[in-house]
Amino acid sequence: MRITVVGSINLDHVASAPRLPGPGETVTGATLARHPGGKGANQALAAARLGAEVTMIGRVGRDGMAGEALALLLEADIDVAGVITDAEAPTGVALIAVDPSGENQIVVAAGANYSVTPEQLPQRIEGPLILQLELPVATVEAAVGRAVGFVCINLAPAAPVSEALLRRADLIVVNETEAAYYGDLLHSGGGRVVVTLGARGAQLFQRGGLIAEASPPEVTAVDATGAGDTFVGAITVALLEGMAPEAALRFACAAGAIAATRPGAQPSLPMRDEVEAILAG
């Protein structure tokens, strides 16, 4: 299968600290690392490492960070012909603080991601499509309107969207906070809705009714950054391959759990054989 991902591309600056700061507080003793990230790029790489061919559509700046942000996508043979270099806006940046348990705080400076416009999109998007909300909502809405295949929308970060977008989605993925934000609107379209529950796993709904649930394997979390995006890529690949709902949830939960055991967003994303091994074990 070839999946198109329309989404954000960032360079993550990750500070691993003894604990996360409170409001107005400074915490010292951290170490700093830089990793490719962005929800769109993370989901694209997750899907590619799990067996899909992937096309990425997005935007980076004309700066020294762009090459770093795209490095792992290129290494995975993802088609980045649809990624435009912006002459004015910088490459998107995420500032991430992580504590020893893997909990994090994230602030995103969108940069060139907010310059992705409907004009950059193909007039017709063939095959499966994955989207998130780290681009302008108007661009996400346009992409959904041009899609002719399976559409997965990760409604993160939570933002107002049209009911038409929700109705068009074949699969919606949200965490508990995002599910509370959207409420009953999530189930208004009749497509499948997945609510992720962190270490407690995930639940799959159809027309508001629970049809499957799964728990992740027990792991020692190091950094949860990218785990949710791994889940999105994994659940999309699993369902497109024809896995039954419960098996698809187990597959995605296992992929997300593995991602949480390693630092960084994209460097932590698992390969297909790793997911199958932990499920077999």
What is the rounded CA–CA span in Å between residue 158 and residue 244? 28
| 105 membership: H or E segment, kind and range | strand 104-109
What is the rounded CA–CA span in Å between residue 180 and residue 169? 18
82 CB contacts (<8 Å, ≥6 apart)?
A: 55, 56, 57, 58, 120, 122
Residue whose tokens read 């409001």: 23
Letter for the amino acid at 259?
A: A
Distances (CA, A) of 16 to 93, 139, 238: 17, 34, 32
Tokens read off for 92? 């998107």
Residue whose tokens read 């699993």: 238
Q: Are strands 104-109 and 129-131 parallel, antiparallel or unpaired?
A: unpaired
Question: Which residue of the set 63, 99, 229, 273 is catalytic?
Answer: 229
State in Å, rounded, how far the first CA of the chain is from the last one: 28
DSSP string, 229-274: HHHHHHHHHHHHTT--HHHHHHHHHHHHHHHTTSSSSGGGPPPHHH
Q: Does 273 qualify as catalytic in the annotation?
A: no
Query: What is the dihedral angle through the alpha carbons of 60, 34, 4, 123, rounded to the nearest 10 degrees?
Result: -10
- Give the SS3 label for residue 207: coil
Backbone angles phi, psi at 56, to 5 degrees: -110, 130
Active centre residues (catalytic): 229
